[in-house]
Amino acid sequence: EIVLTQSPGTLSLSPGERATLSCRASQSVGSPFLAWYQQKPVQAPRLLIYGASSRATGIPDRFSGSGSGTNFTLTISRLEPEDFAVYYCQQYGRSPLTFGPGTKLDIK
Amino acid sequence: EVQLVQSGAEVKKPGESLKISCKGSGYRFSSYWIGWVRQMPGKGLEWMGSIYPGDSDTRYSPSFQGQVTISADKSINTAFLQWSSLKASDTAMYYCARGSYDFWSDYSFWGQGTLVTVSS
């Protein structure tokens, strides 16, 4: 099983700042089959990034993904108030599919 | 418009059985994998398993194999998640999500979630 580790656990920033979230895999994620999701309270997760760096439909270009192998990054260039949420990475290159534990992005 | 609509919240007692549903619309239901994801209270996301409605090919996470059953009825565009004997530890929000025609895919569309509470 591929174990995903996300850091930091919590990130406190202000609107307008840049956020950098990390996701590390215990083994190489093929292809790369790595996605990022945003989840707000009492809402279902929303796909932001797939294939490590492709934005999903309707996702603003302030969200970007990068990385390969075992190290991946989600960057939010300038935080908007609606971006404060929990972010999960997921690998879908090997079964079982696995999610990271999440990074909570909260307002400083 | 792609939509996944899940059945309503359930309150059950330990030992009872349960089957929750996820109805897809706005796309060819039989051609896309549907996954089930658990979120325990205050916790993260866990993939439970997925089904391809076209031929009922089903794959489970080892953590959930034998604990739940995933099925689908393509004639009514609906996937199901069921338990034969619930435990208190099954209390969670359960989401269905649509993948692609390939098992190895992200989940681009999600249901609204079904809250299952198991308590004596």
Three-state secondary structure readout of chain B: CCEEEECCCEEECCCCCEEEEEEEECCCHHHCCEEEEEECCCCCEEEEEEEECCCCEEEECCCCECCEEEEEEHHHCEEEEEECCCCHHHCEEEEEEECCCCCCCCCCEECCCEEEEECC
Average pLDDT over residues A68-86: 97
- Please say if the pLDDT value at position A2 is more than 90: yes
Q: Which of B35, B103, B113 sits opposite A44 (nearest CB)?
A: B113
With an 8 Å Cβ cutoff, are B107 and A45 in contact? yes
Convert the pLDDT of each residue in B7-20 to its tens digit.
999 999 999 999 99
Within an 8 Å CB–CB cutoff, is residue B61 touching chain A?
Answer: yes
pLDDT < 50 stretches in chain B: none
Instruction: Please give the interface size between A and B, counted as residue pairs whose CB atoms are below 8 Å apart.
Output: 60
Confidence of residue A32 (pLDDT cuts 50, 70, 90): confident
